[in-house]
Structure 1
């Protein structure tokens, strides 16, 4: 894996997100109430809504445009919605959020 140090975990608001920009697009890095960290593409496949501006609840995020809900672990749309967002491996080490950049370029280019 190709780990990149993104930020301190406290730089991501609880139930919020921070954006990491790449040459292929943006990655949303989310922090849950339990201090779990997940990374996904920032773009909803429905209408392109910025998921980083969505509502984080449990291990899910709701798109701010049309309320589609995505599982932050798998990227799958929940409920009656269909779709998938790319997910990327993260880890927290000594309070620092690390993002695996190995598949970011490939996944975002495919969107």
Structure 2
């Protein structure tokens, strides 16, 4: 009788261990999924930063190429020089992409 009770307790403990291991695997899968999503977000942010770097470099290039002796700055460079004028710049006044400030 006592042996049966001990065997039953052992089976229950093994079932508890199995359940805990299953829960641990599920948590690890969640962590892996979150790491994957975070990696995708980091890649997206990195791409956005590269795009922003390209835009900044393009604006610098236009600024320096248009600011020689006797030249005037292009209207689309005002958003680089004076952010307060950013809202007044439209795609019609510039040949390149424009970043608009959100209100």
Is TM more than 0.5 here? no
Q: TM-score, normalised by structure 1?
A: 0.22
Question: Hey, which of these two has a bigger chunk of strand by percent?
Answer: 1
Larger Rg: 2
Output the TM-score relative to the length of structure 2.
Answer: 0.23
